[in-house]
Structure 1
Amino acid sequence: MTIDLSLLETAATKWDEAAKQFEAVRKIYDSKVKSVGLDGTWNGVSLLVARPNMQVTDEQFTAAPKEARAIASILRDAHTQFVDLRGKVKSAVADAVKAGMKVSEAGIASYDYAKASASDANAARHDPDLHSTEQSWTRYIEAAVRAVDDADQGVKLALKAAVQDPNVLDPAGSGFNGKAEGDIEKVEAKEAEDLATRINSGDKLSDKEMAEFQRLFRDNEHNKVFSQTFLAGLGPKGTIDLNLKFNDLAKGDDKKDFRALQEGVATSLATATQSPSDPFYKKWREDLRKAGAKDFDGGTVPLYGYQSFVELMTHGKNYGKQFLTDVGNDIITLEKSDGQGTGRWDSWVGNGLAPHKNIATDPLDTLLGIMSQQPDVATSFLDPGADGKNDHLQYLLKDRHWPTTASPNYIGVSHMDLPGTRMGFGAALEAAATGNVPGSDHTLGYHTEAESRVMHDTIKILDDGRKGTDVHYNLRSNLGHMLVDYTPETHEILSGTGPYMDKDGVWHDGTGGKDAHMSVPKESLTRIMRGVAEDGKAFGEMFEAEKFYSAGTLSQTNFSDPNERAAAIEGASHVFGFYDGINSDIVRDDKDHAVARANHIQTAEFVVTGGMQAAASALKGQPTGFITDAAYRVLYAAAYDWKEDQIAQANAAAAQKTEYHFTTGQKQVNHMVAGWAQENGYDKETGLSRHLVGSGQERYDSARSEALIYLD
């Protein structure tokens, strides 16, 4: 921590001076010695003996300044790295001290009772998590110190390589290195490439070499020079081979080490491909197209390069938008060139056949799952565009031959869905339409034009005029989340009033920012909701979101205005009529599973967090559905457990021999209306409250009937 790092700069200057001195001596040698052997005045046997030695000397004088300048470059690079890394160690220690720790000379963090107040010290003594906190700070400091050591090892490696005699036949090993590399990262990349090549050749690395391999990636995490040099040396084919080796070797006690190496290679891949304008990028992509289509197995069950390559990508993150897009485009282009139904990615099982382990059976679906963690990429990839020229959404929702599990049998080959098929696509679709990583807390609504277009076109493409049965079971949950996120839109569409009426498209409300909205015909939305609602949990989440939105809409409506009051109640009744119509249709088709589905509905959650305060503006100048304290009070006063009623009605439906209609939605509206009246000073037993409860029944009945018509 106290070493004078400026000495490295001083040493670098001396080496630059040495390079100049070598060049000066070379000039003297050329003019005073070498010229004598070349000007024709010296002849005979002695010249024949002298010339080879003169050639060696000339080569050494040429190599010496190159080696000297390489060493100078390495020392300057080392100075820059060490100054930065030492600062990070000091910063880590300062952070720990600020958090109430004291740090020993060995870097061990422990609570500093001496500097703490009496109350804080007493609280710390009784804190069951204190030891864990201390360990966390110690690890934080250890990581900063380890980064210094990793860099130090890199400098050592580069210096050793710079002074290495390139003439392996020189017994003295004392010649200058005319090919000395002054870039530490390039030297480390070459070392990593050599180790990778050995693994690809079947060599077993020693424990020391494995540790060094991991250090190389750790030390150069996010370094473009290292990453591009390493990957250019291996090429896509070598990289795919390496990942296959990693998967084969990741067993038992070695599993952790090889998984760490996979993460290192994947991180290098993400780093190397950030800039599409780099010369590296174009060649890498061209070579990847060839390697991706290549069969790396050559046996009965093919193993294509893209399958291993995309599996490698799952060990990394934060890939460049263009790289993810290009890989996706190239896979789709390959699939289309095969022709539909060829089943390039099918997984073959049975009759002695077995799928390859630890690979992405469907590389496109896996890639889409990676995209889902970067919503802007998912949106860009799936957005049809204002001109409708991007067909990815159409291809994935309707046209693609999704890989299957293929099993040969005595009558031919049977095909079944791959386990987890479309899971990556579903996650990407959700991210693309909502603009958020699936599963993350976020504000409902507020979408860009591209996000709204993905949502709109998804509904339109999936709607085939039937009940929505073409909504794949592995897409229902994600589509349900999407519909939840678009609750402001679905509410206005189903209520059949306001600016959403008779609209089919995407538009902006003029408020700025994420002010885009989508609208589709009620019949299309109803059929897709019906397909999604086969998943009880998804239906429950949609119902919960609508409950909050309707309560918010009621709470912001002028209760004193009879017309506004009636419109709000009728709007909510109409929407919940559609929900009950959908629910009734599902149970009518499959009464045997009505109770099981209702139990799944019970697992649905819609948690309003600090990041979800606003449900979103329906349209500028129109009612908004803010989730406020007033909305909570309406729901709290309602005190209606609709999930329990769902189970009760499901049991009743299962026992009915005739058609059974759910009425949960209207009950929910009636309870909310009673709570809304109470919020405005009217007891549930007052005449006005009684009059308002059930006032939306007619709109509810017509909506439920309308939904069933759309679903016939």
Structure 2
Amino acid sequence: MALNYHEVLTTNFGLLGTAAGKWELTAGELKKVETRYGNTVQKITTTDNWAGFSSVSAQKGFAATRYEYAAAQVQAKAIASLLRDAQEKFTDLKNKLESARDDAIAAGMTVSAEGRVAFDHSKLTPGERSAYHHDPDGQKAIAEAVDKWQKHIDDRVKVVTELDQNIKAVLQTAVTDSNKDAFGKGADMSLSGFNAGATGDLDQALKDEKAAREQAAKEAEAAKNGPKSEGGLKITGPDVGASASGQKYGKEGSAKAYADLFHMTADGKYQNGDLTLSGVDDITLGARASANYGMTHDGLSGKAEVSAGVRTLLEGRADYSHWGGAYARTEGFAGGEAAVSGTARWDNLSAGAKAFAGGKLSVAGGGEVAGIGAGATAEGWAGAGAEAKVTFGKGDDGKWHVGGKVGVALGIGGAVGGEFTIDTEKVTKAAGDTADWVGDTAGDIKDGFVGLFD
């Protein structure tokens, strides 16, 4: 709701400073509670008198509770800082509005309590008043001056209204859990707790809020302009090549060689607002060998693979913003292949091995809702070979993966596999949208009850 002239000039913005002081006191009291909790309740799990699975579970739960106490302090201090900055900005704009009013009065105008500007006839002498009534050009000049001063004052009020609305959005963001330490990144185990990532820098928060509005406007404009599609067909071959690089700057070393007789890729993408449909068809006939290895501060990793034959892949996907999606894929292979891989990093543990000669046909499908996904694979084998793979941790796509696959064939056989994934970025966005929806709905319900009783 837009503010008016009277509200701006009569509001005591010093109360924002008073509220900021209360929030700072709240942060101090929360610090006392956190310290007392750590020295009493949480301390129980650090002694030798409690061990086992229940102790491990309690350690995580107690750490999560203490995390929320600390996050509440960050949030309280951020709100205090935002309110103090808001007081300063509102007071400055109020002073500018008062200055604009004084300038208008000095220029021969009157300004009512509601902010309406008019020409001050009381300052005219009888002769000047008579000349004014008989001078159309003078009346026009005065009317233009009144309009100019009215716009000047209205613009000052408009700036205060815009600041008020932006600060409201900033405060709402400050009390929404950013989940910056959730999903294994820290002790945070609540998706709707206190905001440990709250910022008390109002200028930066206003910039972030503006950027978010601009991005939303771009997305809305893109949706308004209608659907878009893109895609293409690429055919190469025969082609041969080889490359090798050593490990450096924390990157894995690699070596690969390939000989493709034929390679075709056709892909397409259709986008309409938040909905994206995509597909790819890929066929390769040839041989290749590759190896990767790495030893960094994050851990160890290595992979070696060799294969020869024909591969086909056909996949389709449907995604709706960060809320969810689904995919279906079928793959075929005829030839021979062997591979071994392993990773031991702080955020990933995986191992796998396979050897096969013959033909394979596989189908896979899965879906994702609010960043949490699941998928399954089934394969039919005609030939001889075996495969086993297990994965737990963060993948190259930024998602957390938990899954495995096992297969064997002596003539006729097959393989089955499954996987669960968590995309922390999408989960965070979905949680934020849900919190906004819950807040808006609660506000609507409250307004409805207030209106009913009124």
TM-score by length of 2: 0.42
RCO higher in 1 or 2 (8 Å CA, sep ≥ 6)?
2
Higher strand share: 2
Higher helix share: 1
TM-score by length of 1: 0.27
